C-alpha cells in the first residue's frame, strides 16, 4: 500500500486494537433532516472528540464541522435519489475525487446496490471511484446498501455484496449485522465495519449488536442512529468504544454507559446549582 493510502487507513483504524468507531452522520443525503439530525452541527460537536472517523457529505462537512478538527473524515460521495422514490438504487457519484482531496478527507464512501435494478451501474460507479481513489491515495469504502428491502440483511446476501465490493478493490466495506455474521466477515478480504441500522428499542440492543459484530471479526463500527438518536449519545459512543477497542463485554459496556450517564447528571446538577 502506498504511503498516502496507508496513512489514511491508519488514521481511521486505531493502532492497538486495529479497529475503528466511525460515526455516520450522512443520512440526510437521501432522508432529509431525520430525527436528531435537524441541527447537524449540534449533533456532531459533542461526538467529534470520541469518533475515530466522521461520515458526512461535503455539504454537512462545510456547514457543521470546524476546519480545525483533526477527526478523520469519511466522505459520502454517492447520491442522486431520495426516500421519496421506491427504488433507491439509482445512485451515481455526486462528489468528485478532486473535491474529496481538496477537503482533505481520509476516505470516500458510496453505496453499492448488489442485486438491485441498478446493480450494474452501481458496480461500475464503484470501480470508477476506486480507480480515482487509488490514483489519489484515497481509500474507498463500499457500503452494501439494501435500500428499502431490509429482508436482504442475511448472511448469504451480505457475504456476496461484501465480497463483490472487495473484489472490485474497495479498501474497506460497511455492511449490516445479521445472524451468522462471521460468514460475512470470513468471505471478505478487507476490513468490515458494521452499521447499526434503524434505532433499536434499547441501548443494550445496540451494544449487543456491536459486541456480536466484533466477536465475529468486524474491524469496528460505522454507526449512526443508535448513537445520535440515543438519549445519551456521548455515553453511548464511549460504551461502544469500550467494546470495539477494549473488548468489553456487553455488561461492561453497560457499566461504562451508566457511569457516563451518572457523571453527566452530576455535572448538570452542579451547573444548575
Ligand atoms: C446511510 C448510511 C449510514 O451511514 C449507515 O447506514 C450507518 O448508519 P446507521 O447506523 O444509522 O444505519 O450509509 O445510507
Average of per-residue pLDDT values in the chain: 96
Supply the pLDDT for residue 91. Answer: 96
Residues in the chain: 273
Residues 6 or more apart from 160 whose CB is under 8 A from it?
Answer: 114, 115
Band the pLDDT of 152: cuts 50, 70, 90. Answer: confident
For residues 229-256, one letter each, b for 16 or more C-beta atoms within 10 angstroms of the residue's C-beta and e for the rest, the string is bbebbbbbbbbbbbbbbeebebebbbeb
**Measured in angstroms, how far is the CA atom of residue 152 from the centroid of ligand 1?**
15
Q: Which tens digits make up the pLDDT trace of 87-102?
A: 999 999 999 999 999 9
Question: Mean per-residue pLDDT for 236-265?
Answer: 97
Q: Is 139 in the pocket of ligand 1 (CB under 6 A)?
A: no
Supply the pLDDT for residue 273. Answer: 81
Instruction: Tell me the Cα Rg of the chain.
Output: 18
Question: Mean per-residue pLDDT for 119-129?
Answer: 97
**Measured in angstroms, how far is the CA atom of residue 174 from the centroid of ligand 1?**
9
Q: Model pTM?
A: 0.96
* 8 Å CB contact between 188 and 162: yes
**Measured in angstroms, how far is the CA atom of residue 73 from the centroid of ligand 1?**
15
- Residues paired with 21 in a beta bridge: 221
Protein residue closest via CA to atom 5 of ligand 1: 195
Protein residue closest via CA to atom 12 of ligand 1: 197
181 has pLDDT over 80: yes
Q: Is 196 in the pocket of ligand 1 (CB under 6 A)?
A: yes
Supply the pLDDT for residue 147. Answer: 78
Q: Is 225 in the pocket of ligand 1 (CB under 6 A)?
A: yes
Q: Give which of 115, 107, 126 is closest to 220, Cα–Cα.
A: 107
Q: Which residues are catalytic?
A: 174
Supply the pLDDT for residue 269. Answer: 87
151 has pLDDT over 80: no
Question: Mean per-residue pLDDT for 61-71?
Answer: 97
Band the pLDDT of 176: cuts 50, 70, 90. Answer: very high
Band the pLDDT of 131: cuts 50, 70, 90. Answer: very high
Going from N- to C-terminal start, the domains of the chain cover 3-232
Question: Mean per-residue pLDDT for 216-239?
Answer: 98
Q: Give which of 147, 44, 137 is closest to 97, Cα–Cα.
A: 137
At 6 the three-state DSSP class reads: helix
Cell 436528531 belongs to which residue? 36
Concatenating the DSSP letter of every residue in 140-160 gives: EEEEE--TT-GGG-SHHHHHH
**Measured in angstroms, how far is the CA atom of residue 224 from the centroid of ligand 1?**
6
* 8 Å CB contact between 161 and 114: yes
Q: Is 27 in the pocket of ligand 1 (CB under 6 A)?
A: yes
Interstrand relation of 78-79 and 92-93 (parallel, antiparallel or unpaired)? antiparallel
Cell 448488489 belongs to which residue? 114
Question: Mean per-residue pLDDT for 237-250?
Answer: 98
241 has pLDDT over 80: yes
CATH H-level superfamily of 3-232: Aldolase class I (3.20.20.70)
Band the pLDDT of 2: cuts 50, 70, 90. Answer: very high
Ranking 37-46, 143-152, 205-214 by mean pLDDT, the lowest is 143-152
161 has pLDDT over 80: yes
Q: Measured in whole angstroms, how far is the alpha carbon of residue 121 from the centre of its chain? A: 23
Q: Is 91 in the pocket of ligand 1 (CB under 6 A)?
A: no
Supply the pLDDT for residue 167. Answer: 98
- Residues paired with 176 in a beta bridge: 195
Q: Is 224 in the pocket of ligand 1 (CB under 6 A)?
A: yes
Q: Give which of 9, 20, 12, 16 is closest to 214, Cα–Cα.
A: 20
Supply the pLDDT for residue 254. Answer: 98
Amino acid at each position: 500500500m502506498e504511503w498516502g493510502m496507508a496513512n489514511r487507513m491508519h488514521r481511521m483504524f486505531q493502532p492497538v486494537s486495529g479497529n475503528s468507531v466511525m460515526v455516520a452522520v450522512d443520512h440526510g443525503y437521501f432522508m432529509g433532516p431525520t430525527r436528531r439530525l435537524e441541527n447537524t452541527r449540534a449533533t456532531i460537536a459533542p461526538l467529534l472528540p470520541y469518533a475515530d472517523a466522521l461520515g458526512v457529505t461535503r455539504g454537512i462537512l462545510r456547514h457543521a464541522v470546524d476546519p480545525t478538527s483533526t477527526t478523520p473524515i469519511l466522505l459520502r460521495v454517492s447520491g442522486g435519489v431520495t426516500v421519496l422514490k421506491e427504488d433507491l438504487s439509482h445512485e451515481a457519484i455526486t462528489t468528485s475525487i478532486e473535491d474529496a482531496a481538496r477537503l482533505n478527507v481520509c476516505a470516500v464512501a458510496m453505496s453499492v446496490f448488489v442485486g438491485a435494478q441498478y446493480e450494474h451501474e452501481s458496480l461500475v460507479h464503484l470501480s470508477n471511484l476506486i480507480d480515482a481513489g487509488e490514483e489519489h491515495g484515497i481509500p474507498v469504502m463500499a457500503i452494501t446498501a439494501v435500500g428499502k428491502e431490509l429482508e436482504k440483511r442475511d448472511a448469504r446476501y451480505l457475504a456476496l455484496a461484501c465480497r463483490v465490493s472487495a473484489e472490485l478493490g474497495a479498501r474497506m466495506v460497511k455492511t449490516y449485522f445479521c445472524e451468522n455474521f462471521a460468514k460475512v466477515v470470513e468471505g471478505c478480504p478487507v476490513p468490515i465495519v458494521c452499521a447499526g441500522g434503524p434505532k433499536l428499542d434499547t441501548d443494550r440492543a445496540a451494544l449487543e449488536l456491536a459486541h456480536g459484530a466484533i466477536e465475529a471479526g468486524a474491524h469496528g463500527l460505522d454507526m449512526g442512529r443508535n448513537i445520535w438518536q440515543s438519549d445519551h449519545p456521548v455515553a453511548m459512543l464511549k460504551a461502544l468504544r469500550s467494546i470495539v477497542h477494549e473488548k468489553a463485554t456487553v455488561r461492561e459496556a453497560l457499566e461504562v454507559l451508566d457511569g457516563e450517564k451518572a457523571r453527566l447528571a452530576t455535572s448538570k446538577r452542579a451547573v444548575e446549582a
